[in-house]
Amino acid sequence: MEQLIGLKKNNSTAPNVGDAALVKDTTTEKFMVDVIEPSQQTPIIVDFWASWCGPCKQLGPILEKIVREAKGAVRLVKIDVDRNQSLAAQLQIQSIPTVYAFYKGQPVDGFMGNVPESQVRSFIENLKKMAGANKPAANDVDTLVIQATDLLNQQSFGAAVTLLNKAIQLSPFHPKVVHGLVKGYIGLQKMADADRLIGQIPADKQNDPYISGAKAALGLAKSIKDIPPTPELETRLGKDSNNLQIHFDLAMAYYRDFRYQQAIENLLKIISKNRSWNDGMARQQLLKFFEALGASHPDTIEGRRKLSAVLFS
């Protein structure tokens, strides 16, 4: 339990996020990213359920409706206990439905069973009041970064850049803002704007991890521009599935297409087949992907876990 809830990062989601961010499914592996980290600012309600559970099917829609009505003041994460048995055991889930609320990385309230809608509303209202004193202002830089990050993950690059340009006026060269802006400019194919921003970064911020990630993302975007189209590479791989160079090129193409999971998987395939291929190029490239995406990105977290499994198997 303590290992699950001990993380103190502040990468949460705030009000005014999209509907997809308000209600989502998660897994044991993504529990930190989807529950513990965002709970640092916003209460996260976790619904433990199963497909065979009748009361779960009755409670679930009620929770989703009231969470959406709250418009970002709280969020709902759903966990199928059958598919995530280890997490359910660590949190001592003994019956379902069980609902926990996490805030500031800790469980703060909860209930079991299919309770009336009025009780669910009271439960959520109490969470909103609890978090009200810590609610960030609409123009808070961290809030803008959180909202922009959600937009970047949805590939809504123009909207993300609009928010981040507002944030950078409030806090010039804030590392997280720079990182997000560079990724937004890359998504909009505005490489000159990304270059100009990187060139203006003060010397005392050059070694910040987020600035390094921004530089890595820009470098990757430039290096990928001459890679053949993704469908062409997929066709080549279908005819020569053991060709590691095609796997590598396809990984780069997937990254260019924002298909990060597939990009990472292709590099992992190379590493699992031949770790020393091209002087370890696949592993080096994978680390560049992780740096460009950022340490807290879900695909980075999952990719590092899989890389460790390959290297130490």
166-192: per-residue pLDDT in tens? 889 988 899 999 999 999 999 998 999
**How sure is the predictor about 238, in pLDDT bands with cuts at 50, 70 and 90?**
very high
213 in the same domain as 111: no
Which tops the pLDDT comparison, 67 or 9? 67
Residue 213: pLDDT above 60?
yes
78 in the same domain as 28: yes
- Residue 255 has phi, psi (to 5 degrees) of -60, -45
109 in the same domain as 29: yes
Give the angle subtended at the CA of 37 by the CAs of 35 and 41, to the nearest 5°.
95
- The amino acid that residue 312 corresponds to is F
For the segment 80-108, the average pLDDT, to the nearest whole number, is: 89
The pTM for the full model equals 0.54
123 in the same domain as 46: yes
Residue 10: pLDDT above 90?
no
What is the reported pLDDT for 109? 84
7 in the same domain as 120: yes
Which tops the pLDDT comparison, 150 or 118? 118
Residue 247: pLDDT above 90?
yes
Tell me the residue range of the domain where 190 lies.
141-224
Q: What pLDDT, in 10s, does the model give residues 11-66? A: 333 334 445 568 999 999 999 888 988 888 789 999 999 999 999 999 999 999 99
What is the reported pLDDT for 18? 46
Contact between residue 96 and residue 49 where contact means Cβ atoms under 8 Å apart: yes
Tell me the CATH number at 159. Answer: 1.25.40.10
119 in the same domain as 40: yes
Instruction: Identify the domain boundary among 109, 132, 155.
Output: 132
**How sure is the predictor about 218, in pLDDT bands with cuts at 50, 70 and 90?**
very high
Q: From residue 304, how far is each of 10, 14, 102, 137, 265 by CA, in Å?
A: 20, 27, 26, 35, 11
Q: Which residue has the tokens 């950078």?
A: 168
Total Cβ atoms within 10 A of residue 162: 14
Instruction: Identify the domain boundary among 189, 224, 259.
Output: 224
94 in the same domain as 20: yes
106 in the same domain as 19: yes
Q: What pLDDT, in 10s, does the model give residues 276-304? A: 999 999 999 999 999 998 888 888 899 99
207 in the same domain as 287: no
64 in the same domain as 93: yes
For the segment 232-255, the average pLDDT, to the nearest whole number, is: 93
Contacts of 163 (CB under 8 A, 6+ apart): 144, 147, 148, 151
What is the reported pLDDT for 80? 95
For the segment 119-130, the average pLDDT, to the nearest whole number, is: 87
| Nearest partner of 291 among 227, 229, 225, 209, judged by Cα | 209
Catalytic residue list: 53, 56
**What percent of the chain has a predicted confidence (pLDDT) above 70?**
90
What is the reported pLDDT for 8? 35
153 in the same domain as 108: no
- The amino acid that residue 278 corresponds to is N
Residue 6: pLDDT above 80?
no
Instruction: Identify the domain boundary among 200, 224, 248.
Output: 224
Residue 132: pLDDT above 60?
yes
- Residue 97 has phi, psi (to 5 degrees) of -75, 140
Domain count for the chain:
3
Contact between residue 63 and residue 8 where contact means Cβ atoms under 8 Å apart: no
214 in the same domain as 162: yes
